Structure 1
């Protein structure tokens, strides 16, 4: 392969001009102030500038810039007027030989990446908690940086927190608190800014294997350690598939339920939602997903948010290969079918001709969070499954191993991926052009005609049960003994469109869905209850929306509330009670929805 791996491209979601001057290493010093809900400190960068460059540009949003130094001497800087989504340019004048800049700054209450949790928002209810969520372009709200996934840097950090609290980052981490509240971190591998992460709280650690473990509040730790017991096996299976794990340790941090995503793949330390703790390990494919990001996303990264599918499509495919390795093809097939259902639903909601159903997106003048849909995840995965089906699994695995090897610690575009694809599969060019047609997947909306069918033998019984239900509207003859979460989700998806309130009452009496402790099942059931106006779900719905901030769950529920005049005022009422518990990522999405 003779591809140029040193890729620097224009990123419309960053003001930085890395082709002129680029950051390469960060020394971060921060003081965490829970009383004032503020980070104060400095970011010192090692930089490289091209001949003739007279400034370096950083992205900032809702930060107070107090002073800028170049080579430890006060320097002139300018801040542009704020722009929606993007924030401001921080332009720093450089001398011709400058190789170091320092920005002294503090955060503000508007910093969207930071969520400062009050005592009652935590599991213990006694101590506050802080966590960051930097993806997609929120790192600039707590760190002056070149906030583009195409710019990578190594870092060290010194974090000061109150005594008795533990600080953790996307780096090498301590496993217990110290008496001083001072913690030092090192990330020796170059990462993009969206993978910068910080969490501070009363936390404890439990080892799960020689390279894996879990952090959580003490009240959650035992349940988390049980739920994620398979993590070391997951890590080993991932290595068997696609090469050595490159990041040292792989640990989890279980966050309070306001965390807006299922998981965030911060290197060395995945942040996860507690909604996947069910007591039966039935939702741990999410952990496999975040682990897979250690290769697809963290190791090889989308160069812009228009190329987001390169992160997520590969990761969904990899996740299900891990689950197949651990639990067999039948289990993985169930995940594929459920994912396909989500894909079809998303295409229907967006519209099959909507350009947002292309893999390659156009997010110019838009918040990149608008690209965080099932298209990147499930259409990307189905494209790779179709490619695997065309060339054979062994050949496809060789392709992925070479892909991770060639592009490791680099950022990649869709176009560069295609160039690599055609060069690697030159002997199979006619097969790929006929059976796959990659450009149709990438640049055309909707579902291509070359998409392969996904199916699950374990779902045949579920389909029979759903058919019986549709015909007879009763439970006689339906055997659900031993059904997994995936089988229940498939069943509810099949019958949901025809559920009315009496039917929901019958199912609820038999299976107690309204009291389910499984967030995936409960979220589907609550949405069905809103559509059917099944009144008994309303107390559970309010409780769920006030406690859980995971956007995947709460947005469809608010959307259903908002779409029905019967619930219009209720949506606003619940949101008013719940909004303080939501991270900005979730809160802003709901506000946009309710204000339409």
Structure 2
């Protein structure tokens, strides 16, 4: 599947320009005082069949472009195209015949959307912190690049930081500080730009096995090593399922709580939110998810963001197979039931006939971030479950393992995947494609009838408790049956509570189960909408603390929406947001700014 044969990516200015990058030599200086990155990106070219190299930029100051590989080469003419708020500007560099490399000297300022600069008081220690979030099209805000998931490159980097801080990238990483403050990185496997990552802070490392470990701020490291003790078992389980891990090491970096996602699958160094440090390892399916991306996404990558389901649907299915391998089928079944409930909620929110509920999206002219919904994740997983039910696990597993092996380090688009699926799996069984309703999954709205039901035996006790509660039992009477419940059982319980519970009812639940004081962020995020609807003031301080402290968009966007729907909520939401916004990444504020701006 050569990249040149594919139609242009609608979210990259690189488009159908013939020159493609193959390797990056990056030199950067990180300046916390001015909150800037400054340096040179030297791009080595895979092809120079045309007269220009086109790179994506957004908000970058381009100081000079020279003929590479060194910055001392002759200047090359360049132009910046019209600015688009999402896609930024095309940087077009005129190439002389035979050009093999170009060097772009540039600066990324404090407003770069990928960069989150944190003051010491926003971290767990007393030092500043920087991290990047490049997915989906934010790599171009800190690096001039061909910012398409269908274009891969290897890279090396030299990064200079204050000498008391540690720098890490999605590459081979140091495990201790260098007193010079200069760090050198190498990524030998080709990756797309959205997997470029950088973090700088007061960080320490703890090994978990010969190929796994965790980085975190010193105050967080002990909790993180406890939470992720099963990481090597996860990697081994993943390899047993779908083939060898191809990235050498698998380390985690626990970021400050302003990180806008649960995790980001940066190769060799997954970024994770501290909101999964529940103390009981109950939220580590998120780590299994990011690990699964080492195959689905990082190894075989969606060709464009319209094909995002090919990354996430496979990854959710793979994640739950890892969790089943480690903790049993009843545990994984709970994840499937919770995921299906989230999917149904998303379909209702988007509208059951909305084209945004198709697996194959049409996001041209829109921010690809619009496609980061449960449709790609849970509807994609549900399709694989439907296939599993019809062909059996052994055949589906063999198909998935062969798919990852055959298309390693390549891009995959929906049409090409469907052709491969038919040739390797569906066509061998007459009528199977019609039975599974493939077209309805990919290009139809909602959830097809071919999606089978999901159930979790461990939720039977939760459903029994809910039935007793609905029949009038006091929460205190339910408490003796709940000590063995995991966070998943509690999320199922909270999700099934009536939306109209009065404040007195919530007070009784809180007295029995201590939801407001929970250390589990998923439980808090499920509890607070109830407290807001009921006007349960005893949870107000905890809610405000959560919104000030946590930047994970999955949690805070629904909570702000719930707050806006309460009497006096808009004014309160604006007040909280004004104070909390500096702690949020641009990924989160991009969602929340329009939401709060419209608050009446």
Asked if TM exceeds 0.5, the reply is yes
SS at match of 1:536: helix
2:11 aligned partner: 13
Unaligned runs of 5+ in 1: none
Change (3 A) 1:19 1:392: farther
2:204 aligned partner: 204
Say if 2:48 and 2:99, in contact at 8 Å, map to a contact too. Answer: no
1:440 aligned partner: 440
2:137 aligned partner: 137
Cα offset, 1:564, TM superposition = 3.2
Cα offset, 1:469, TM superposition = 1.0
Task: Identify which of 64, 82, 103 aligns with 1:67.
Answer: 64
SS at match of 1:504: helix
Cα offset, 1:156, TM superposition = 0.3
Distance 1:499 1:177 in 2: 53
2:93 aligned partner: 92
1:536 aligned partner: 538
SS at match of 2:191: strand
Cα offset, 1:214, TM superposition = 0.1
Within the alignment, does 1:367 sit opposite 2:364 as a pair? no
SS at match of 1:158: strand
2:323 aligned partner: 323
Deviates more, 1:542-551 or 1:526-535: 526-535
Change (3 A) 1:477 1:258: closer
Distance 2:153 2:2 in 1: 19
Cα offset, 1:484, TM superposition = 0.6
Say if 2:25 and 2:42, in contact at 8 Å, map to a contact too. Answer: yes
Distance 2:16 2:244 in 1: 30
Distance 1:115 1:153 in 2: 25
Distance 1:6 1:150 in 2: 10
Cα offset, 1:477, TM superposition = 4.9
Aligned positions of 1:255-404 closer than 5 A: 255-404=255-404
Distance 1:334 1:136 in 2: 29
Change (3 A) 1:134 1:355: same
Change (3 A) 1:216 1:286: same
Distance 1:429 1:92 in 2: 52
Say if 1:161 and 1:200, in contact at 8 Å, map to a contact too. Answer: yes
Distance 2:232 2:431 in 1: 38
Task: Identify which of 572, 577, 580 aligns with 2:579.
Answer: 577
SS at match of 1:497: coil
Change (3 A) 1:392 1:4: farther
Distance 1:288 1:567 in 2: 37
Distance 1:61 1:264 in 2: 21
Say if 2:124 and 2:219, in contact at 8 Å, map to a contact too. Answer: yes
Task: Identify which of 43, 48, 51 aligns with 1:54.
Answer: 51
Say if 1:473 and 1:503, in contact at 8 Å, map to a contact too. Answer: no
Cα offset, 1:496, TM superposition = 4.1
1:106 aligned partner: 107
TM-align CA RMSD = 1.3
Say if 1:9 and 1:303, in contact at 8 Å, map to a contact too. Answer: no
SS at match of 1:12: coil
Within the alignment, does 1:39 sit opposite 2:37 as a pair? yes
Cα offset, 1:431, TM superposition = 4.4
Say if 1:8 and 1:150, in contact at 8 Å, map to a contact too. Answer: no
Distance 2:472 2:530 in 1: 20
Cα offset, 1:501, TM superposition = 1.2
Cα offset, 1:368, TM superposition = 0.8
Say if 2:48 and 2:98, in contact at 8 Å, map to a contact too. Answer: no
Unaligned runs of 5+ in 2: none
Say if 2:383 and 2:441, in contact at 8 Å, map to a contact too. Answer: yes
Cα offset, 1:18, TM superposition = 5.2
Distance 2:267 2:462 in 1: 38
Cα offset, 1:17, TM superposition = 3.1
Distance 2:534 2:417 in 1: 45
Distance 1:40 1:455 in 2: 53
SS at match of 2:568: helix
Change (3 A) 1:138 1:444: same
Change (3 A) 1:4 1:60: closer
1:165 aligned partner: 165
Cα offset, 1:595, TM superposition = 2.5
Q: Deviations over 1:114-143 (max 9, x none)?
A: 01100100001x110000000000000000
Say if 1:270 and 1:290, in contact at 8 Å, map to a contact too. Answer: yes
Distance 1:227 1:33 in 2: 33
Cα offset, 1:456, TM superposition = 0.6
Cα offset, 1:544, TM superposition = 0.3
Say if 2:65 and 2:76, in contact at 8 Å, map to a contact too. Answer: yes
Say if 1:432 and 1:438, in contact at 8 Å, map to a contact too. Answer: no
Distance 1:6 1:49 in 2: 10
Q: Deviations over 1:503-526 (max 9, x none)?
A: 111100111101111000011101
Cα offset, 1:178, TM superposition = 1.1
Cα offset, 1:108, TM superposition = 1.3
Q: Deviations over 1:431-460 (max 9, x none)?
A: 422331111101001110110111011111
Distance 1:6 1:333 in 2: 42
Say if 1:5 and 1:407, in contact at 8 Å, map to a contact too. Answer: no
1:558 aligned partner: 560
Say if 2:500 and 2:533, in contact at 8 Å, map to a contact too. Answer: no
Distance 2:408 2:563 in 1: 45
Say if 1:19 and 1:50, in contact at 8 Å, map to a contact too. Answer: no
Distance 1:419 1:18 in 2: 24
SS at match of 1:430: coil
Distance 1:580 1:379 in 2: 34
